[in-house]
Structure 1
Amino acid sequence: MWWKETVIYQIYPRSFQDTNGDGIGDLEGIRRRLPYLKGLGVGTLWLSPFYKSPMKDFGYDVADYCDVDPIFGTLEDFDRLLKEAHALGLKVLIDLVPNHTSDQHPWFLESRSSRDNPKRDWYIWKDPGPDGGPPNNWQSFFGGPAWTLDEDTGQYYLHLFLPEQPDLNWQNPEVREAIHEAMRFWLRRGVDGFRVDVLWLLAKDPLFRDEPGNPSWRPGLPDRLRHEHPYTEDQPETYAYVRELRYILDEFSQPGQERVMVGEIYLPLHRLVRYYRAGCHLPFNFSLITEGLPHWQPETIARIVEAYESLLTPWDWPNWVLGNHDQPRLASRLGEAQARVAAMLLFTLRGTPTWYYGDELALPNGEIPPEKVQDPAALRQKDRTPAGYHTLGRDPERTPMPWDASPHAGFSTVEPWLPLNPDWPLRNVAAQEQDPRSMLQLVRRLIALRKDPELLYEAYRTYQAAGGVYAYLRGEGWLVALNFTDKERALPLPRRGGLVLSTHLDREEAVEGILRLRPDEGVVVRLS
């Protein structure tokens, strides 16, 4: 199945390529860069939202599920992009945002117009609590209560994110069918599937009970962490909703041309895997981001991989992620040397990898001065963390792609919507194309190597996870050894072989007996 053999490459459209001179990336820019993506070796593009939107959360506040925002172009631009991607053998996934809409969506404008409007029940409305305040203690991911009072109708509406992003009422079958129709609109145009935003949040506790306090919360942590979330996350009804989404995809699927669901789900592994049973092809496994990168040790990574593999049935297909539009950049977390090691890990584990645009350049977090902050999550909470709110938002990982050393890095002809990475004159695609040992060249080599059937499909087995080295076998023919330290390390080999790839990109040689790993080096060995 194509979605098992592919590499998914996430594009944040605002930041990939601007073609109309407004400093913001667009669909035409993505189309023009398709040859780069084909040359990189990825097989699937995932496009973050480009829907018509007031852009309070840069497209995750949808005002029309079936149109393109003029900032990004037109439906015709999308169709042309999709057609050319398919001609190059590239699949295209788009974001589906089913949990909430914009407060400017026609559905919500009707819903808030009166208590007896037919669409009132399309959103979640509640009377004030006994004290006149919010109905319960639920908190927004973006800070503050998850409820906003509508003065005209005297009720509160629920929003787990911004007040401008009211939550849809998924208990209402009309809402579910409306989302299904939006899916069909894009599936008829030919998209290959969806990455479904906040999939684990669709259902809410029908009794709207207060959530219990989090004993580990302390001042300075986000408001959402004040409580544990048994009533707003991973509710039992969610699985039925996921199955319905899968049915829509199956309507358009044929053998070899499956339409695929990738689900955004931030849950512990033992709860995450339940979404396979519900019908999600690839429930995003963020464990390398949430646990691995903060504790970058061989023992930790081995434990994560072994735990995940042990929970999967023969019908489940693993997946791995190291970065996205909501997480700090890989190179800023680990440094470039270990970012190379992490890339070798991602592309040699069993399962489908997702790669974030620009990480193939070891792009660092951007430097965003307070006056340049764009992220609504940071701006909404700036009064709570006045000394450093601009460092807490998601702007640093969303900076524009640097293509070359020309003005504005070849991204635009004008100043981009966010500042470029400070080292863009040297760290850009054109420069790394010319450097045979660059991060870009390493990622290309890894993606090409991953196409070997044994690396794609054969079993994983830990070989060593101690002394600063993490090593594992893929099938009987491949050994991957990763040095997590800045010191030389030695690893006894199970048998002789040939070293076919080093993260340093400077050696290919026969090896037997003892494998010498240089500082911050990962290697792939083809065993004899």
Structure 2
Amino acid sequence: MTEQRWWHRAVVYQIYPSSFMDANGDGMGDLPGIIERLDHLADLGITVIWLSPIFASPMDDNGYDISDYQAIAPQFGTLDDLDRLIAEADRRGIKIILDLVVNHSSDEHPWFVDAKSSKDSDYRDFYIWREPAADGGPPSELTSYFSGSMWEFDEASGEYYFHQFSKKQPDLNWDNPAVPEAVHTMMNWWLDRGVAGFRMDVLDLLGKDVDNQQLTAGPKLHDRIHTMNRATYGPRDALTVGETWSVTPETAPLYCAPERDEISMVFQFEHISLTFGEPEDGAPNGGKWNAKPVDPLKLKQVLAKWQHALAGGRGWNSLFWNNHDLPRAVSEFGDDSEHRIRSAKMLATILHGQQGTPYIYQGEEIGMTNVRFDAIEDYRDIETLNFYNEYGDLGWTHAQRMAAIYRNGRDNARTPMQWSATDNGGFSTGTPWLTVNPNYRDINVAADRADPDGIFQHYQKLIQLRKDHDVLVYGRFTLLLEDHPTVFAYERELNGERWLVLGSFSAERTQVHLPAHWQNTLCQCLIHNTSARGALGQTLDLAPYEAFMLRAEGNAE
């Protein structure tokens, strides 16, 4: 039996601060803007807010390049604003977790500025430096996730420094004991200030072995996480979730099995990787940019595999469709045109019925969609801009590159929150840092919440069901209709209570033959996106993107 923890019942809402709400009219979202909208989140029912980075940063990578871990970026506000946000959220029963970005810092962090000043700097070994290769070039041919080499030459010292992302994001050297010591001190400073935990950026990279070119999940990784746990968040019962692209069902318990004292849960991306095609030669993240349609059969098999992998106390799942790096859920997995509302509700139902902690990305609760800007100049994301330039050199036309960006560019998730049909979607009275999706006139919080059958209300009901019913939190998961190509159905069972959760990923009407133990069953319909169902027969005729949760009440005969 799974040991019960407070975050098992949590529902997390991710805020991308630049794009959530601008309170001062400068075009950039900020902490006072988040405070203004806390009642919206309290009404939704979420219990945790995850803030993407708000720390001081030159914003080369939208805040994932931190120049001061204990200061707030001025465009977001002040430390006093964050203290006020923590207090106001707490008053509404909501906790705050921060984005912990400690695989790398900004090249403008004082540590790196000092490290670059001299080979004799006390901070030189905070980063990874190597002599040039015999030909004077980079020490290895490793390619950055953001294009180009992972090595940047420093003319002053005649050495290269290592960076897995932008050259303005030098990797920290976790082999130097002073690095984890400084990081732990910083983490405790934030925990003492009232934050409830951390989302841990690219956590599996902290164990990198650069010389042996093992950059993910290296041999020292788990010792480093365990040490971090004991020195900081572990004794405080904080929520921690690790971004771990390399994790598998077999390795996930190494991170999140309770007895290992590492983290609460991992973000696994196997279901996201199902959308990736074959990578182009010589191009990083090629599979992402050469995306393919989602196969619902493979999707449900992957999600079910993870449900089974971490069941019975072996760990804990994080449940999500999208985040600040990924396409909008309804555009990627549903239908963002004719069936937008119904498919958004279907995705929500399927996600929140599983075992794990659900994560809602800002705007998901109203079915916000991907954006299609005509000009590359309208995009702001460094990865997107690098892709556009690099793939042009590889021979891709403008139309091909824009189609890839429309599908998987990170700015799809970063366009400002659509609060109303007023100018700029009610996000800002100024000029937004990134253009609002033009469909804000039709898709916005005010319109959706005014609709008694809106997406927001569906999320409200789902979140309340999790709060009211242990079966959704701790019940056994069993996949049903395993071979059906478009219907994802599963059962949750706890102490004799049985629920059926079903969602159709098809835009066509679909008929399914129910498993024998659900045939001729009288049910209570707890939530649906079309019409309520009661007694079940032997088959179901499903509407496009239909979804529901039913509780078995007895025999219908």
Q: TM exceeds 0.5? A: yes
Q: Does 1:459 align with 2:476?
A: yes
| Equivalent of 1:502 in 528, 535, 539 | 528
Look up the match of 2:499: 478
Q: Could you list the runs of 5+ residues in structure 1 that have no partner in the other structure?
A: 212-230
Structure 1 residue 15: Cα displacement = 0.4
| Counterparts of residues 119-518 of structure 1 (less than 5 Å) | 119-205=123-209, 208-209=211-212, 231-250=214-233, 253=236, 258-267=237-246, 268-277=248-257, 278=260, 279-291=262-274, 296-312=294-310, 314-333=313-332, 334-335=334-335, 336=340, 337-368=342-373, 369-386=375-392, 387=398, 391=405, 393-451=409-467, 452-467=469-484, 468-475=486-493, 476-485=497-506, 486-492=508-514, 493-494=518-519, 495-504=521-530, 506-507=531-532, 509-518=534-543
- In 2, the alpha carbon distance for the partners of 1:377 and 1:360 equals 26
Matched-pair contact (CA < 8 Å) for 2:327–2:409: no
Secondary structure of 2:14 counterpart: strand
- In 2, the alpha carbon distance for the partners of 1:515 and 1:131 equals 68
Pick closer, same or farther for the CA change 1:292–1:144 going to 2, 3 Å: closer
Matched-pair contact (CA < 8 Å) for 1:469–1:489: no
Structure 1 residue 381: Cα displacement = 3.5
Look up the match of 1:35: 39
- In 2, the alpha carbon distance for the partners of 1:24 and 1:39 equals 24
Question: Deviations along 1:448-483, whole A, 9 cap, x unmatched?
Answer: 222211111111011213343221110042001222
Identify which range, 291-300 or 127-136, moves more after superposition. 291-300
Structure 1 residue 507: Cα displacement = 2.9
Structure 1 residue 252: Cα displacement = 5.0
Matched-pair contact (CA < 8 Å) for 2:199–2:240: yes
Matched-pair contact (CA < 8 Å) for 2:203–2:244: yes
Matched-pair contact (CA < 8 Å) for 2:308–2:477: no
Structure 1 residue 510: Cα displacement = 4.4
Aligned letter for 1:330? Answer: A
- In 2, the alpha carbon distance for the partners of 1:236 and 1:145 equals 24
Matched-pair contact (CA < 8 Å) for 2:307–2:355: no
Look up the match of 2:288: none
Secondary structure of 1:378 counterpart: helix
Pick closer, same or farther for the CA change 1:64–1:250 going to 2, 3 Å: closer
Look up the match of 1:220: none
Look up the match of 1:522: 547
Structure 1 residue 490: Cα displacement = 3.6
Question: Deviations along 1:111-156, whole A, 9 cap, x unmatched?
Answer: 0111111111010000001111000111111001000000000000
- In 1, the alpha carbon distance for the partners of 2:457 and 2:437 equals 20
Question: Deviations along 1:184-225, whole A, 9 cap, x unmatched?
Answer: 11101010000010001112225x13x5xxxxxxxxxxxxxx
Using the size of structure 2 for normalisation, the TM-score is 0.86
Pick closer, same or farther for the CA change 1:478–1:296 going to 2, 3 Å: farther
Identify which range, 265-274 or 70-79, moves more after superposition. 265-274
Cα RMSD of the aligned pairs, angstroms, is 1.9
Secondary structure of 2:232 counterpart: helix
Aligned residue pairs: how many? 502
Pick closer, same or farther for the CA change 1:351–1:86 going to 2, 3 Å: same
Identity rate of aligned residues, in percent? 38
- In 2, the alpha carbon distance for the partners of 1:516 and 1:441 equals 25
Secondary structure of 1:289 counterpart: helix
Structure 1 residue 99: Cα displacement = 0.5
Aligned letter for 1:276? Answer: C
Pick closer, same or farther for the CA change 1:251–1:438 going to 2, 3 Å: closer
Q: Does 1:104 align with 2:108?
A: yes
Question: Deviations along 1:474-513, whole A, 9 cap, x unmatched?
Answer: 0042001222222132443342212222123x43544455
- In 2, the alpha carbon distance for the partners of 1:497 and 1:513 equals 14
